[in-house]
Structure formats: C-alpha cells, structure tokens
Structure 1
Amino acid sequence: MSVTKIKSHCRYCGHDTNHSVLSEHNESSRDEYSFDRAYQIVECLGCDTKSFRDVFEEVEHAYQIAEDEWEVPTSIDVYPRFIKGHRSLNGDYYIPSLVRRIYKEVLLAFQEDALILAGLGLRGTVEAVCNDLEVSGRNLEVRISKLATAGYISRKDAERLHGIRFMGNDAAHDIKRPKTEQLNVALRIVEHLLSSVYILEEEVQGNIETLITEFDEFKELLDKKLGDFTPGDELPIAAILGRDIRRVKDSLANIEPILLSKIDSGEIDTLSKGKIEKYNNSKNELQHYVLSQANK
C-alpha cells in the first residue's frame, strides 16, 4: 500500500518537514456551502513526531488564477499547536518549578494566539526569576538593573529585559496586543535569561573551569587541593592551588581576608596562618598557610 507524503510543520524539528499520512478521514459538501475537509494523523519522517492536521478547503470561495486553473482558499491547523520556528529549551528541568510553570504557560498562550496574555507572561517570567534569585527592588525596573550589577546577566542583557518590561506594561495597562514578531524576539530574550541563569550554570559544573568569585566556591576548590599535600606543609595559596590559581586570581584580594578571618575564628581548622615571605622569587611577600592534621 502506497503511503501519502506531505509537507507539514513539525513541532519537534521546528520547521516544515516531510510527513507520512498515517490515517485520513475526508468530508465534503456541495449543498449550501461548498467545502472539502480532511482530518489527518501524520508522522514526521525525520523524528517520528505525530501530529493531527485539519485541512479545510473553501471550494465556495475558489477564484480563477489562469484560464484553466483555480485557487481554493485553504486553512490548515496542526495540533498540538506550535510556535512557528520555535524550539523549546533543552534542559528546562534545571529551571525552578515556579519559573518553569510560568514559562510553559507563556508558550501555551503564544501557541493559542493569546498574545496579550503571552506578553504579560513574559514579564511575569522575569519577575519570577528575580523572586527566585532574591533580587529585590521597588519595581521591576530596579530589579532588572540589580540582576546586572549582581553579575547574573550582562548590561546588554538588562537593556533587552527592559524591553520585555515595556511590552508587559503595555499589555497590562493599555491592553495593547503585541505583534507576533515582537513576541518571537521577546521569547528569545527571556529564554536566553533562563538558559544563562539556570541551564548553563548547571551544565558547566564539572565540565568547564570558570572564574571563582564567591568564598564558598573557593573553599570547595581549596579543600580538594589540600588533599594533595602533607600535614605540616607551609605554602601560599598560589602554591596550594597550582594551575587553578587562574580561577581566583582577580578575586583573591577579596577572598583571602575572609579565609584569614575564618581561620582566626576556628571555623576553618584545616589550615593555620604561617609566615609571610616571598615564594619562588615572587615579587611580593605572600601569606603562607600550614596544613594541619585535621585535613587528613
């Protein structure tokens, strides 16, 4: 039995692909209103994703485009509905549940052409990210700026997020329906935020060496490195970290005083303060640390 092949949009592939028609039911009328209609179950020949198609041909409104050729207005609806050219985020399971729920509802609103609600939802997604990161402020304008100053996003990213804020405000206060093209760009901006803050942050762990700016991250690296030495060894931080000193080089001036304070208070007992002198022809004198038995 031959298989009918058609072009149709695949929500997984994100574009029009070849599909096979698995099943089809046809209806037609030539009475009060002339039409042909086909209900189809189709399968993408690239990824095997199944969809349902409703193909409606308005024979009643056919018009002539050549001497022996007629054009029949045709509308095609594919279910589940989709956002043309959009592919959902990979790794969205890393996104906190509340933030992810709002993001998913934005996609549903967009798919159903509820563009005002989608615009509001994108603004709400940015608000939810701020709440999750505990970035406070009297309004969203201040909170977006704080996302940048706190290092979660770049200044350019913040400028783009203000555009989301403007669009959400227009939808909320002026009941202004955003254009599909605007929402497509806005969705990409918000997805970039979610990817940067949550998804990439999780995926780089253990795979890519990044700069360390927080003491807790520094302490985790330090504890790992201390296992390579013997109690009684007396070394500066640069010697303990070895090649990994490049990860804390720019932030060591802020991190080392915290380390010294925690050693003085007894909160850290794997190290004690040692001498202050040059190490391996260093330009400056360096604080040395003595490894204690508690490290073993």
Structure 2
Amino acid sequence: MSEESRPEQGQEKSIRCHHCNTITAHKNIFQHYTFTTADEDYNPQNPDSTYQDLEEIFYISWVCLGCKNVTFEVKNFMEFPDGITRSNVNFYPEYNSNKKSTKNFKILPSEIISIYRESVLCYNTGAYRASAVCLRAALEGILSNKGITGKDLYTKIENFASQGILSNDIAKLLHTFRFMGNEAIHDLTKINPSLIEIKYAIEAIEIMIDYMYEAQNELKTKMRILTRMRDSESGE
C-alpha cells in the first residue's frame, strides 16, 4: 500500500455511520497495523526491503462526530511481486439500511422515553414481537400520562377519541397497536409482525409524540414569546 493511502490516526473522513445511519464526519481514534510476508527479512519501515507476497491489515476505530458511537474498520491489502494488488474493506457492526435511530424528545416523560427507546432497540435487533409489546406499553403510557382513563386499553383509546382530539382513522391505528401488542404477548401463533409493520408503527408513535408533546410545547413557547412582545409594545 502506498504511503499516501495509508490511514493515519487522528485523520477525519466522511463515511456512513453504522449506528445513526447517516453519512457524517468520523475521526480515526485508534488503529493497529499488522503484516505477513513469505520473506522473513522484510521490513515495512525500510523502503529498500523486498518481499515475495505481502499482506497488510489495518484495524481502525472510527468515532462518529455526530452520534459519538464507534464503527470498526478492517482494511486488508495484498500485494504480489508481479504487481497485482487486491484489497478488501469491512465495517463492524455491519450496515443495516433499515436501522432506525431514536428521536431526541425533550418533553416526553422519562418512563415513556425509556419504553420508546426499547421498542426501537428491539426493532433494530430483529425482535419484532418484543418491539410490538413495547409500542403497546408506550401507547398506554402516553394515554395514562394525558389523564385518559378506562378499564383497559380499548376503553382508553375510545375515551380519547371521544374527546375530539383524535380522528376516527387515528383511533383505528391505535387499536392496531393494541392488537399487535396483545397478540404478541398472549398468542404467538396469531401474529408475527414484519419489519415494515413495526417500522411504520414506530414512526406513527413518533408522530403521535410530536403532536401530543413536542409540538404543543413549542406552540406554547411561541405564544408566550408573542405575548411578551405585545405586552412590551403596548407598554411603550
């Protein structure tokens, strides 16, 4: 491998983060180098040193400058006396195009944040039944936190819908979460939620959280600012 293409500790480059699933800047925080060759006298530090077959392996730890998680790279480079070269690069953990990252909700109660994050974790590891159970628990936690009462989750959803806050279509969607969670717990033969079903279910819960917590809090903040501005103008 040429000196120009050798990785250097401390360097930065843009690669896809295998944790937050975005192409972002990463920093080389640690690397280890090994080599093997048929020539026992070969010295990679000596430019005049010769070899028969050379295999170089670089182990590199890249930290994402966004989410701060580490992706591990193994770069394998082989060079032969006839000038033929071969290279191979692998990243760990392996890239998953369907992987979801959790949203950073600011207003959501901590116990609901915890179960929401658990639902995403289960989804990312392929535990779709467990994710369905977590989503059902998150839904029940949201309704209870908003003061919606009822003897069971069905009644809570119906009572919530009767307040006019939710449309009938959204209420039907919430009942879908209830069915998925119930059957995932009580009868494993009835339901085996797919990746896409759980993905959409998580995204629907995220939209619900945005609407019921984040957006309303943002609206209240903007209204307070506007009120102070008007009071200030009227006092001049």
Does the TM-score normalized on the shorter chain lie above 0.5? yes
Matched letter for residue 190 of structure 1: I
Aligned to 2:51: none
Q: 1:151 aligns with which of 164, 176, 179?
A: 164
Structure 1 pair 203/11, CA: closer, same or farther in 2 (3 Å)? farther
Deviation at 1:186, TM superposition (A): 0.5
Cα offset, 1:125, TM superposition: 0.5
Shift of residue 75, structure 1, vs aligned partner: 6.0
| Whole-angstrom CA distance in 2 between matches of 1:133 and 1:127 | 10
Out of 171, 177, 189, the residue aligned to residue 204 of structure 2 is: 189
Partner of 1:38: 59
Superposition pairs for residues 173-188 of structure 1, below 5 Å? 173-175=186-188, 176-188=191-203
1:77 aligns with 2:90: no
Partner in structure 1 of residue 16 of structure 2: 8
Q: Distance in 1 between matches of 2:100 and 2:119?
A: 16
Q: Distance in 1 between matches of 2:164 and 2:122?
A: 31
TM-score by length of 2: 0.62
Residue 162 of structure 1 and its aligned partner are, at CA, apart by 1.8
User: How far apart, in 2, do the equivalents of 1:106 and 1:146 lie?
Assistant: 25
Change in Cα spacing, 1:183 to 1:25, as seen in structure 2 (3 Å) is farther
Superposition deviation, residue 145 in structure 1: 2.2
Identify if the C-alpha distance between structure 1 residues 204 and 150 changes in structure 2 by more than 3 Å, giving closer, same or farther. Answer: same
Shift of 1:171: 1.7
Query: What's the offset of the Cα at 1:178?
Result: 2.5
How far did 1:74 drift? Answer: 4.9
Q: Work out the CA distance in 2 between the residues paired with 1:117 and 1:197.
A: 24
Higher relative contact order (CA 8 A, sep 6+): 2
Q: Give how far 1:134 is off.
A: 2.7
Contact 1:52 1:78 in 2 (8 A): no
Distance 1:38 1:50, change over 3 A: same
Matched, 1:51 2:41: no
Give 1:28 deviation, angstroms: 8.7
1:1-296 alignment to 2 at 5 Å? 3=11, 5=13, 7-9=15-17, 11=19, 14-25=21-32, 38-44=59-65, 47=66, 49-55=67-73, 74=90, 76-77=92-93, 84-89=99-104, 92-175=105-188, 176-208=191-223
* Alpha-carbon displacement from aligned partner over 1:208-256 (angstroms, at most 9, x marks no partner): 59xxxxxxxxxxx9xxx9xx9xxxxxxxxxxxxxxxxxxxxxxxxxxxx
Identity over the aligned pairs, expressed in percent? 21
What is the RMSD of the two structures over their aligned residues, measured on CA atoms?
4.0
**TM-score normalised according to structure 1 size:** 0.51
Q: What CA deviation, in whole Å up to 9, does each residue of 1:153-194 have, x standing for no partner?
A: 332221222221222123212334422222111001111121
Distance 1:74 1:178 in 2: 31
Q: Is the 8 A contact 1:40 1:53 kept in 2?
A: yes
Structure 1 residue 119: deviation in Å? Answer: 1.2
Cα shift at 1:20: 4.0
SS in 2 for 1:95: coil
- Local SS of the residue matching 1:94: coil
DSSP 3-state at the match of 2:120? helix
Query: SS of 1:41's equivalent?
Result: strand
Structure showing greater radius of gyration is 1
Residues 4 and 206 of structure 1, relative CA distance in 2, 3 Å threshold:
closer
1:26 and 1:37 in contact (8 A); partners too: yes
Unmatched 5+ stretches in structure 2:
1-6, 37-56, 77-83
Evaluate the alpha carbon distance shift between residue 20 and residue 191 of structure 1 in structure 2; reply closer, same or farther with a 3 A threshold: same
| Structure 1 residue 38: Cα displacement | 3.4
Q: Is the Cα contact below 8 Å between 2:26 and 2:62 reproduced in 1? A: no
